[in-house]
Structure 1
């Protein structure tokens, strides 16, 4: 007898309206993300500004609402003044995070132009590693002030009359990490971030500010870092960041697919810490979460280390170009479900990164663009995960792995798009051995019909896509779902990503 799971979808069991910015991404001046990624003059698809149209098409298809820029570790030694003005006058700099040379061909104004073409907004990071309050304020004035002051007039002089009006700003990057240029203790960082935040909001009170949280759950200072940094800056900031990457280093697929449970625990712990500081300060506002770096990342570590150690100071070397397989796509889908489940507090998230560098989109320097396996869960979530996240009332069989207990075979959530009057169910069957029948109870929505059942599956967990061949692509299946009144039975094949869309 087939294994069973059940999801009750109740219109009144609402978590929150999903902030579309949870489907954001990230472009850092790292490897070929910028040079050879979004920008490559001379490429057959390059537009008048040198941006690759084929990449832009895929980014627009993803409907990426916000992109974090320019780092990442890069930002902690970033001199923004070098990235503006006539390109021929811009200096080349040693880039300390990735031991590359930054030519500054693309800077803030060029990236803002790309963002408009990509129909996205910018999440701008400021350097609190080697710099501080003054540089952050000057950059904000340059980007957001209309004119009539030193740095706003400098922007106008550089040919950009209208301000960029960037609304989200990150106060540094991973300042808890000893690898970070300008690494600080929680007290040092919290004090600096608070003072920087207060000064920046004097310039533009409408901006939202993101405080650096822990770089991952394994940091020895987690979660005391959050407690200390927020104790300084709670009143001045709006979000705290979370970063987390997962990998299957020991080739244990079951344990790998359970790691989204760790992500869930991470989010819950940070929320609890934020609310502890809120209680301690007798504050009224909530600090929300910006999960502004997340992905699978482990495939290319050795070659990256060799490049940075033995062949440093290249311009746009091949770095962090993980080639993702099918099981990576499943974990990405599970992580997206986890973000949706916490949409009441997670208001922004950025898959790191967007192009070439641990990315869903890959390019060949003089050839085509292509989609990695992880592109598709992000595409489906971004397109169909807009609306109200519904509290999942889910029953499922469970299993244990080497690191996790009571891992549900099925993970799922439903999103109700009240404007379009449709319900989308996202579900991953992470059982390695069994198909599972998912009973769906849609009684509270009346007579909805199944519009489509999208499935991403492959018998080979290590199957990858390449520029020449896509082994992992979504397919439509009309033969795996049965209707009985307002109930449905959906067959979820073993290790599969499923998107079930119901409409009036």
Structure 2
């Protein structure tokens, strides 16, 4: 049996839980929009064409903010194509598809209000620039009396959209991106676009593009240069990261959050160095606005973007990267959520990519059902129960060896304390495949009371670590009660089965 000890102290906190870290992402890519959130004619569709079965799952997931409309898509997108009665059909070079523009900004804002999520709007700084970004803010947020704001009113929205959160482009360091820039080119463009956008609406919050991933050859230098130009004009810098299992190396894959920790801490250090050098007063926070498990290599299937492009076929919303997620993937996603929480003093926004069908926690079929993937559960429970403040976790765990990260803790933990409700929530992942883990939690400053929730996701009976949910088996992987949790005095003890993610919530009283 493996062992881990966790110490929590009510006086040692990271900061308030930033509710925007439970964000998601809707891009005009594959079937995320069309037959995902939007399908007129579906048996559950409302009068705006929104799939109510998907909406129900989005609400259960607990997403708080949704980034839109991209992603790579935004770098070739003219926002004007998606508003008004005349919607042109366009070729989307990012994903080699035909974009009908039947769904655009108005529809997304309406959908977001039904879903109860905040809009995070991205502007095109690839093939377009300062004026187009400024004009979009005027169209969306100005009350009226100008050509652009009155055009919005004519198009059906009398009141402003009041979008507060804006992304200044997407992955502009990437050679795959339409209109990719050098760090100096992008830094100056972001600075000037931000100035122009704020002149229209000074209330908005702006996210500058950081490196597309920590493996980029310009990582670190990119952030330093971009923020050197735009520091005073922006509020956040972005991070993107995707992970997968390579060549059966499950040990390193299960430890992927170690890399996420490194990525976050490196960007914080770079941003703070720019702050010190420039003698700036404010801190730049982080927006981890794309993250997930994504099997980008080793699966040369028909739904991969490069296969579609190579075939030379232009389709409307084809199937693209509709990964089916396993028990292993769910445990890894749980550790990513732990990493985001542990860094919640600086990571203020995070968006799991994407929401429906495209590497998503929710799947749907055209004319058919919608269902939860395995990765739905860690996100939904963490979003629901991580309230109040984030606690600093002191963890002493048995370790295991990995090829990529040396020795890594078998048990990964984050925790929150909701003082108003008098509850502590623990989010735990057990990376080991072979034996149970016994976990002891020392509570300092509290007395443990009733356990209000104890659930675990692990390998189902008759399954293995690769087991997934599917249209005809929607509940193979899910949460079940975690038995044997004991809370008494200042201690909690519990057992975790091999390869598992668990949540334990308990009532506490101040000691």
TM-score, normalised to structure 2, is 0.96
Q: Which residue of 2 aligns with 1:142?
A: 139
Structure 1 segments of 4+ aligned residues over 6 angstroms from their partners: none
Instruction: Return the alpha-carbon distance in structure 2 between the equivalents of residues 48 and 240 of structure 1.
Output: 38
Q: Does 1:251 align with 2:248?
A: yes
Q: Which of 212, 215, 231 pairs up with 2:212? A: 215
1:419-460: CA deviations, max 9, x gaps? 222110001011122211110112412242211211000061
Conserved 8 A contact 1:398-1:408:
yes
> Match of 1:15, SS?
strand
1:326-337 correspondence to structure 2 within 5 Å: 326-337=327-338
Q: Does 1:476 align with 2:481?
A: yes
Q: Does 1:295 align with 2:302?
A: no
Alpha-carbon distance change, 214 to 301 in structure 1, aligned in 2, over 3 angstroms: farther
1:392-471 correspondence to structure 2 within 5 Å: 392-458=393-459, 460-469=464-473, 470-471=475-476
Q: Which residue of 2 aligns with 1:5?
A: 4
Q: Does 1:40 align with 2:23?
A: no
Q: Which residue of 1 aligns with 2:371?
A: 370
Instruction: Return the alpha-carbon distance in structure 1 between the equivalents of residues 487 and 121 of structure 2.
Output: 48
1:118-161: CA deviations, max 9, x gaps? 00011000000000000001000000000011110110111110
Alpha-carbon distance change, 301 to 202 in structure 1, aligned in 2, over 3 angstroms: farther
Conserved 8 A contact 2:447-2:488:
no
Q: Which residue of 2 aligns with 1:314?
A: 315
> Match of 1:446, SS?
strand
Conserved 8 A contact 1:249-1:298:
no
Q: Does 1:496 align with 2:500?
A: yes
What is the alpha-carbon root mean square deviation over aligned residues?
1.1
Q: Which of 283, 301, 315 pairs up with 2:280? A: 283
Q: Which residue of 1 aligns with 2:16?
A: 17
Q: Which of 102, 112, 137 pairs up with 2:99? A: 102
1:55-134 correspondence to structure 2 within 5 Å: 55-86=54-85, 89-134=86-131
Instruction: Return the alpha-carbon distance in structure 1 between the equivalents of residues 57 and 312 of structure 2.
Output: 32
Shift of the alpha carbon at 1:398?
1.1
Shift of the alpha carbon at 1:43?
0.6
Q: Which residue of 2 aligns with 1:172?
A: 169
TM-score, normalised to structure 1, is 0.98
Structure 1, 488-497 or 187-196: larger mean CA deviation? 488-497
Conserved 8 A contact 1:143-1:155:
yes
Q: Which residue of 2 aligns with 1:52?
A: 51
Q: Which residue of 2 aligns with 1:235?
A: 232
Shift of the alpha carbon at 1:8?
1.1
Q: Which residue of 2 aligns with 1:382?
A: 383
Instruction: Return the alpha-carbon distance in structure 2 between the equivalents of residues 403 and 204 of structure 1.
Output: 46
Shift of the alpha carbon at 1:484?
3.7
Conserved 8 A contact 2:437-2:495:
yes
> Match of 1:442, SS?
strand
Instruction: Return the alpha-carbon distance in structure 1 between the equivalents of residues 104 and 488 of structure 2.
Output: 57
Structure 1 residue runs of 5 or longer lacking an equivalent are none
> Match of 1:411, SS?
strand
1:464-491: CA deviations, max 9, x gaps? 00011121110112x3222342212110
Conserved 8 A contact 1:254-1:432:
no
Shift of the alpha carbon at 1:301?
5.2
Conserved 8 A contact 2:444-2:490:
yes
1:289-324: CA deviations, max 9, x gaps? 000000000165542122222143211000111111
Instruction: Return the alpha-carbon distance in structure 2 between the equivalents of residues 94 and 51 of structure 1.
Output: 24
Shift of the alpha carbon at 1:107?
0.5
> Match of 1:502, SS?
strand
Q: Which residue of 2 aligns with 1:487?
A: 491
1:41-93: CA deviations, max 9, x gaps? 1110000011100000000112211000000000000001110001xx21001
Instruction: Return the alpha-carbon distance in structure 1 between the equivalents of residues 143 and 300 of structure 2.
Output: 44
- Alignment: residue pair count: 500
Q: Which of 128, 150, 153 pairs up with 1:153? A: 150
Shift of the alpha carbon at 1:3?
2.3
> Match of 1:202, SS?
helix
> Match of 2:445, SS?
helix
Shift of the alpha carbon at 1:387?
1.8
Instruction: Return the alpha-carbon distance in structure 2 between the equivalents of residues 503 and 301 of structure 1.
Output: 49
